[in-house]
Amino acid sequence: MTYQPPVIKLDQLADVISKEFRHKDTITCYIGSNAATPTASLESLTAAVKAGSPTLPFIKMVHLLLQGPVPYVEKGLQDRIMTYSLFSTGDVRKAANEGRAFYLPCTLANLDSLIGKDREYEPDVAIFKVRPHEITKEFSLGLSVEVLHTAIDHAKCVIAELDFSMPFTQGQSIVGPQSIDYLIDDDDVKCVYNCPAPDFDNLSPEERRIGELITEHFIRDGVTLQVGIGQIPDAVVGTIKGANYKDLGIQTELYGDGLMHLQKADIVTNRKKKQHMGYSTTSLIMGSTELYEFVHMRAGIQMRPCTVTNSAEVIRRNSPFVSINTAMGVDLFGNVWADYIDARRYYSGVGGQPDFVRALNNPVYGVPIIAFRSLTDKGHSKIVKVHPPGVSLTASAYDGVVIVSEYGIADLRGLTAGEKALAIASIAHPRYRDQYLKAIYDDPLFTKPIGSSLGKTPRGVTMYQGNIKLDA
């Protein structure tokens, strides 16, 4: 008879953990993430911690971005349950900025170094969502594979929430019943999280310009794409939709609605990929209900651990590769940051951006693009003279990245420090551009190329030449 894990209810979760680890003072729990956050389990476990019954060890909760409420970051619980977050938003971000949660910086490609065998955060418990296959009786990790296989392999107690609202995805998302110690089957399990699809018809003029610049200058037939999440990457996808490119491939850490539209339109075929040819590869999926219906049982989309999707070797093998991400800002030296606003304000996490930047540090493999609007919502320049002290960098001055704003492209690859400063300043918002350029020319620290002068386009710069007008 085929093994099936024992079934429990949500209100039995704390009892199971208490019994399994009754002789331990501290345990580490790895939580599935993003759209497949097991919120009901987190709420049940937090309720038990608050009630003080059953008796539980101190719990270290390790995870990527969690959607929905995260009740255990509530004030007063940190002596019994503590967050170690690799990527945050909402409640966890607030808790981290108030000293009630730990930010654990790590790129996605290196997660095994944190939670693998004998590592600092090797899990005692793993909690995540699964979708069963009606015929084979296998389980799929659905929308979130990230580093769950490593967590499952090393955890002493593996607990899965049964969730039929989650699509059954293919590839390395499959988990056999024998890998699960307890299966939560409960009517109170929360559905997977979805978010609105991009509105390609109502992009801002700045976003359209950025999309147009990247599509015109870097997208070619047969390139493999990695696209981050947000309005700027969406703008690039929206522009690609209107062009006549073909046989694009996808190897990304996060697959969303925009990439789905390219695949539906047969712009993405994955025929030119050297590895994983014929299907898109991703570690996470997050987006609309339409997206989840599209990926359900679809062989053309294959899940892989982020140690594969973000592997430099695999990225380079699938060249020519174009990676498109965004950031908080860039300084005139070419340093880029994304997880902090400044040293006192934590925002999100480094994610996988450095993985793709470093994998593409040789132009023969492709181009790592960092794109953003030149101004913040408050009207401050995202291009600054020097990066905020104390923040971690997702790309350093020695990384060969391409910076794109709505005003143009600054290709920093192969430029000297002085040339980089001139190139970056040239695509700043006009409100700041002239003062930056004058400061660079007045500062002997930045050795300028012979023959350069104010008003002359620096090496590496392509200014926007299209017809999209910006508001004054």
pLDDT at 454: 83
- Phi, then psi, of 282 in degrees rounded to 5: -155, 160
pLDDT at 1: 41
User: Residue 257's domain is classified under what CATH number?
Assistant: 3.40.1080.20
Concatenating the DSSP letter of every residue in 148-192 gives HHHHHHH-SEEEEEE-TTS---EETTEE-GGG-SEEE--TTPPPP
What is the span of the domain harbouring residue 243? 200-463
pLDDT at 293: 98
pLDDT at 472: 59
Domain boundary among 184, 211, 237: 184
Of 191, 147, 154, nearest to 172 by C-alpha is: 147
Concatenating the DSSP letter of every residue in 247-264 gives SBEEB-SEE-HHHHHHHH
- The residue behind tokens 């940051």 is 337
- State the catalytic residues: 253
Domain boundary among 120, 151, 184: 184
Of 396, 400, 403, nearest to 362 by C-alpha is: 400
Of 358, 333, 360, nearest to 416 by C-alpha is: 333
Q: What distance in Å separates the CA atoms of residue 219 and residue 243, rounded to the nearest whole number?
A: 10
139-140 and 174-175 as β-strands: parallel, antiparallel, unpaired?
Answer: antiparallel
User: Residue 40's domain is classified under what CATH number?
Assistant: 3.40.1080.10
Q: Which helix (H) or strand (E) holds 345?
A: strand 345-346
Instruction: Decide if 121 is inside a domain.
Output: yes
Q: Are 242 and 267 in contact (CB under 8 A)?
A: no
Q: How many domains does the chain have?
A: 2
pTM of the predicted model as reported, rounded to 2 decimal places: 0.95
pLDDT at 201: 83
- For the chain, which residues score pLDDT lower than 70? 1, 472
Give the model confidence (pLDDT) of 182-200 as tens digits.
Answer: 999 999 999 999 998 888 8
Judge if 239 and 373 occupy the same domain.
Answer: yes
Concatenating the DSSP letter of every residue in 3-39 gives --PPEE-GGGHHHHHHHHTTT-SEEEEEE--BTT--H
Judge if 167 and 270 occupy the same domain.
Answer: no
Judge if 26 and 156 occupy the same domain.
Answer: yes
For residue 406, give Cα distances in angstroms to 85, 170, 443.
Answer: 33, 38, 27
Give percent above pLDDT 70 in the chain: 100
Judge if 408 and 295 occupy the same domain.
Answer: yes
pLDDT at 318: 98
Of 317, 288, 283, nearest to 301 by C-alpha is: 283
249-250 and 224-227 as β-strands: parallel, antiparallel, unpaired?
Answer: parallel
Q: What distance in Å separates the CA atoms of residue 298 and residue 451, rounded to the nearest whole number?
A: 57
